[in-house]
């Protein structure tokens, strides 16, 4: 659709070759890209994986740059034999914490920019990445690299998971990759570079054989679950193979989040998460009481937030996702415009200054959940 603009803005044939896809020719690939702009810059993003090019891959013609999407990470439903089976019996792997925030890629492409998982330049995250990581020196040494990071904490525009040690927001760098090929740096090199350049990174629970990784992972998951944290990723030492496993408390938090807005997220969220709990019960539940408790937690995660939302709508109040952001006043302005530009309805609930920072609480209004609930409460019917 935007392929014509793209063609006039760049050397299509050259980008086609650099992206190394399975598309038969440039139009076959570039018809799927969308044109967007950030300030006065135009860029093209791929909203869904196509022709073996990752979702969120970005082409920036003015910088002659490609920023490859972060690959989709498969999940195991059982740690044992999930880990040995995925990597093979002889592999050596690293077990690191998976954080619950949002995935961004940070690259120097005519200035340092931060890209969301879907490939949008996010003005807020760009500002935060520059301030929190100060990556200029790193990009001087590694101009072709991108930092793969999680923006975490209660004051971010997309998620709001609390971490004990993060009052507002923070960044954790969990990967360094060649931004054009997507090729990852090996785990030890990446961790050393983060150390050297002062980039905070996720906890590494251990490194070793796949059998060692199973015990490490089981202990880590028990700890993380008790602390209400998300889970782990296991990576081959070269960084190329990655698999994830998340905690029961994260599944419950996901379901609670989704069923606060059932008609926005419920349908997509529920099935795979109840399946996770089924396999988890078979791997870990020692008796019927523990299983029943897990079932009760599951039911509460689904039903209680939904019922609260129905009551909220019945009372005539708005529902949606409540977020807080803190940062440079201009970056906050740009963020709010950016979100509205994506078609979201934003209601500012509080807007304050804290020193030179601006702190805004806002609601991303969910019209579809409100409308559906209103409709059914008024006696509307559901056709099966």
Q: Which residues bind its own copies (CB under 8 A)?
A: 72-78, 80-86, 243, 259, 262, 266-267, 270-272, 274-275, 277-279, 281-282, 285, 291-292, 294-300, 302-304, 306-307, 310-311, 314, 376-384
Smallest distance from its own copies to CB 285, Å: 8
CA distances from 42 to 48, 113, 131 (A): 19, 13, 24
Instruction: Give me the residues paired with residue 96 across strands.
Output: 204, 233
Residue 311 or 330: which CB sits closer to its own copies?
Answer: 311
Our CB check for its own copies shows the closer of 4 and 293 to be 293
CA nearest neighbour of 213 among 191, 245, 184: 245
| Residue closest to 376 by CA, chosen among 259, 258, 263 | 263
Residue placing its CB nearer to its own copies in the complex, 12 or 254: 254
Q: At closest approach, how far in Å is the CB of 350 from its own copies?
A: 29
Shorter beta-carbon distance to its own copies: residue 196 or 290: 290
Backbone angles phi, psi at 168, to 5 degrees: -115, -80
Considering beta carbons, is residue 36 or 75 the nearer one to its own copies?
A: 75
Query: Quick one: 304 or 348, whose CB is closer to its own copies?
Result: 304
CB of 306: closest distance to its own copies in angstroms? 4
* Buried-state track 49-65, b at ≥16 Cβ within 10 A, e below 16: ebeebbbbbbbbbebeb
CA distance 62 to 10: 8
Mapping DSSP to helix (H, G, I), strand (E, B) and coil, where does residue 292 land?
Answer: helix
Beta-carbon contacts of residue 16 (< 8 Å; ≥ 6 apart): 23, 25, 26, 29, 30
Distance of closest approach, residue 89 Cβ to its own copies, in angstroms: 11
The token pair at 109 is 């492409």
State which residue, 116 or 201, has the beta carbon closest to its own copies: 116
Q: In angstroms, what is the minimal distance from the CB of 90 to its own copies?
A: 15
CB of 345 to its own copies, least distance (A): 23
CB 185 within 8 A of CB 192: no
Write the CB contacts of 21 (distance below 8 Å, at least 6 apart in sequence): 29, 50, 51, 52, 53
Minimum CB distance to its own copies, residue 182 (Å): 17
Phi, psi angle pair for 73, to nearest 5°: -105, 120
Q: How far is the CB of 211 from its own copies (least distance, A)?
A: 13
Beta carbon nearer to its own copies, 14 or 89:
89
Minimum Å gap between C-beta 309 and its own copies is: 8
Compute the distance between CA of residue 14 and CA of residue 30 in angstroms, rounded to an integer: 12
Closest by CA to 147, choosing from 159, 135, 132, is 135
Identity of the residue, 271 or 343, whose beta carbon is nearer to its own copies in the bound complex: 271
Going by C-alpha positions, the residue among 52, 190, 193, 69 that lies closest to residue 120 is 69
Q: Is 37 helix (H, G, I), strand (E, B) or coil?
A: strand
């Amino acid at each position: 659709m935007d392929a014509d603009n793209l063609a006039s803005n760049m050397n299509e044939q050259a980008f086609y070759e650099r992206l190394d896809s399975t598309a038969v020719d440039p139009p076959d690939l570039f018809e799927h890209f969308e044109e967007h702009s950030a300030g006065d810059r135009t860029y093209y993003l791929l909203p869904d994986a196509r022709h073996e090019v990752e979702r969120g891959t970005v082409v920036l013609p003015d910088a002659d740059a490609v920023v490859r999407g972060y690959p989709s990470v498969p999940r195991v439903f059982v740690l044992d034999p999930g880990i040995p089976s995925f990597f093979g019996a002889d592999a050596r792997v690293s077990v690191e914490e998976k954080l619950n925030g949002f995935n961004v890629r940070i690259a120097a492409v005519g200035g340092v920019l931060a890209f969301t998982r879907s490939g949008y330049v996010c003005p807020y995250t760009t500002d935060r990445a520059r301030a929190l990581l100060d990556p200029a020196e790193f990009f001087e040494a590694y101009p072709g690299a991108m930092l793969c990071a999680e923006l975490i904490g209660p004051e971010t525009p997309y998620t709001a998971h609390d971490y004990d040690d993060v009052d507002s927001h923070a960044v954790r760098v969990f990967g360094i990759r060649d931004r054009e090929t997507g090729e990852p740096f090996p785990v030890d090199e990446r961790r050393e570079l983060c150390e050297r350049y002062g980039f905070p990174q996720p906890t590494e629970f251990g490194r070793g054989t796949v059998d060692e990784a199973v015990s490490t992972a089981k202990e880590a998951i028990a700890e993380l679950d008790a602390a209400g944290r998300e889970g782990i990723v296991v990576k081959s030492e070269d960084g190329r193979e990655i698999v994830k496993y998340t905690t029961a408390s994260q599944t419950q938090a996901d379901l609670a989040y989704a069923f606060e807005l059932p008609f926005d997220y419920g349908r997509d969220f529920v099935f795979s998460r109840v399946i996770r709990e089924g396999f988890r019960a078979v791997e870990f539940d020692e008796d019927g009481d523990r299983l029943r408790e897990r079932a009760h937690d599951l039911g509460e995660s689904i039903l209680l937030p939904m019922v609260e939302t129905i009551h909220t709508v019945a009372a005539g109040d708005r529902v949606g996702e409540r977020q807080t952001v803190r940062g440079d006043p201009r970056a906050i302005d740009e963020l709010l415009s950016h979100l509205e530009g994506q078609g979201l309805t934003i209601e500012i609930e509080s807007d304050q200054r804290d020193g030179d920072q601006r702190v805004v609480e806002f609601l991303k209004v969910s019209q579809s959940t409100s409308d559906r609930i209103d409709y059914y409460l008024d006696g509307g019917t559901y056709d099966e």
